[in-house]
Amino acid sequence: MSIVAAVDCGTNSIRLLIARRSDDGLVDLHREMRVVRLGEGVDATGSFTDAAVARTRAALADYAAIMADHDVTAVRMVATSATRDASNRDEFFDMTRELLDPVVAGSVAEVITGDEEARLSFAGAVGEFDAADGPFVVTDLGGGSTEVVLGRGGDVTAAFSANIGCVRLTERVLASDPPTADEIATARGVAREELARAFAAVPVAQASTWVGVAGTMTTLAALAADLSTYDPDLIHRSRVSFERLREVCEQLIVMTRAERAALGPMHPGRVDVIGGGSLVTLELARVLEAEAGITELVVSEHDILDGIALSIS
């Protein structure tokens, strides 16, 4: 058995999983998430800000210390949507090499394609599900992109990474607090247009079960269950009817940031972008109901982070 570390650095958050690998899969030793907003402003400017890189560096430095304490033998750090788009990403890579190389020699972040991101998300999300419930459509709604993946068991049939996520949609359209009716209408149109590309590439009509992963989905599940605090054990593999999902999403979209911040399960780093994430979620639900007859969302706490850990040789 080996101890591996997986790091997922997205547009909104950076996450760490340290796990013991065996023939039976993964055993969690440490898992955490920090909102660093690495992709802040990237959609508009095409580059990382100094402040965003500094926030990410501080979190990764802590993660490296935790890896050293656990005597990890292998590290894989992947960077996704924001890093694919940033013109000054070499600065980011230099920083990750400086912090990770002392833990495991040769370690540095890598940018993965949207297709690989989708496949890693699928591998992490469906590992615990009964194959008889497939085919599965897995959606990984991140800060800068949304991956839509169709498959059964460990086999992926089709995948697409749409260039829309909770941070990107919020920064592009939802400027007011609360958003105006015109902003909301525009954001619905943007989400529909961007996701249409994914649905053209992925035959979701074949799917039997929708599995949603990442922070927007897990937060929506916590709110749908009326939890007073965020509890991953209660959220993992929980089910949300579309009726309840739409109710929660529509409420979040028109709330002020102060009203969202007062909700018990709401992470402070999601307060300003959960409305954008809700709009993307509503469009996903609309199409999956129309195309596949799916009427509920199944939420998984296991996602691309688990897929990264499983991919480490």
User: 85 falls in which pLDDT band (50, 70, 90)?
Assistant: confident
Residue ranges with strand state E in 108-152: 110-111, 136-141, 146-152
Q: What is the pLDDT of residues 11-22, one digit of tens each?
A: 888 999 999 988
Q: How many Å apart are CA 105 and CA 103, to the nearest integer?
A: 6
**Four-CA torsion 184, 185, 187, 191, nearest 10 degrees:** 130
Q: In the prediction, which pLDDT does 235 show?
A: 95
236 located within any domain = yes
Judge if 251 and 140 occupy the same domain.
yes
Identity of the amino acid at 64: A
153: pLDDT strictly greater than 80? no
* Assigned domain for 171 exists: yes
CATH number at residue 291: 3.30.420.150
Least confident of 91-100, 106-115, 199-208, 240-249: 106-115
Mean pLDDT over 253-271 rounds to: 96
117 in a structural domain = no
Q: Does 118 fall in a domain? A: no
* 182 and 293 co-located in one domain: yes
In a domain, 202, yes or no: yes
Range in 40-49, 66-75, 167-176, 251-260 with the lowest mean pLDDT: 40-49
- Is there a single domain that holds both residue 106 and residue 136? no
Residue at 49 is within a domain: yes
Per-residue pLDDT for 150 more than 80? Answer: yes
Least confident of 127-136, 206-215, 246-255: 127-136
- How far is it, in rounded angstroms, from Cα 27 to Cα 50? 36
In a domain, 311, yes or no: no
Secondary-structure breakdown of the chain: helix, strand, coil percentages, each rounded to the nearest 5: 50, 25, 30
Q: How many CA atoms lie within 13 A of 277 on its CB side?
A: 29
Burial of 46 (0-12, 13-18, 19+ CB in 10 A): exposed
CATH number of the domain where residue 88 is located? 3.30.420.40
Domain check: are 93 and 188 in the same one? no
Residue 312 lies in a domain: no
Report helix, strand or coil for 16. Answer: strand
Residue 313 has pLDDT above 90, yes or no: no
Final residue belonging to a domain, choices 86, 111, 136: 111
Whether residues 298 and 205 fall in one domain: yes
Burial class (CB in 10 A: 0-12, 13-18, 19+), 163: middle
What does residue 34 show for φ and ψ, rounded to 5 degrees? -135, 135
d(CA 37, CA 13): 6
Same domain, 241 and 155: yes
Based on the fold, state whether residues 231 and 291 are members of the same structural domain: yes
Within 8 A by CB and 6+ apart from 141, the residues are: 165, 166, 212, 213, 214, 216, 217, 277, 280, 281, 284
Given this model, what pLDDT does residue 34 score? 94
Last residue of a domain, one of 82, 111, 140: 111
111, 139, 172 - which closes a domain: 111
Sorted by sequence, the CB contacts under 8 Å of residue 119 that are 6+ apart come out as: 149, 156, 159, 307
User: 161: domain range?
Assistant: 126-304
Nearest to 189 by CA among 252, 279, 308, 274: 279
Residues 170 and 297 in one domain: yes
Is 157 in the same domain as 192? Answer: yes
Q: Where does residue 126 fall: left (phi above 0), alpha (psi -120 to 50 degrees), or beta otherwise?
A: alpha
The average confidence (pLDDT) of the chain is 93
User: Structure pTM?
Assistant: 0.86
Do 274 and 188 belong to one domain?
A: yes
Task: Examine residue 178 and say whether the peptide bond preceding it is cis (omega within 30 degrees of 0).
Answer: yes
Beta carbons of 157 and 118 less than 8 angstroms apart: no
pLDDT tens-digit readout, 37-47:
998 888 888 88
Give the per-residue pLDDT at 271. 96
Q: How many domains does the chain contain in total?
A: 2
- Is 86 in the same domain as 144? no
81 has pLDDT over 80: no
Task: Please report which confidence band the pLDDT of residue 72 belongs to, taking 50, 70 and 90 as the band edges.
Answer: very high
Is the same domain home to 136 and 61?
A: no
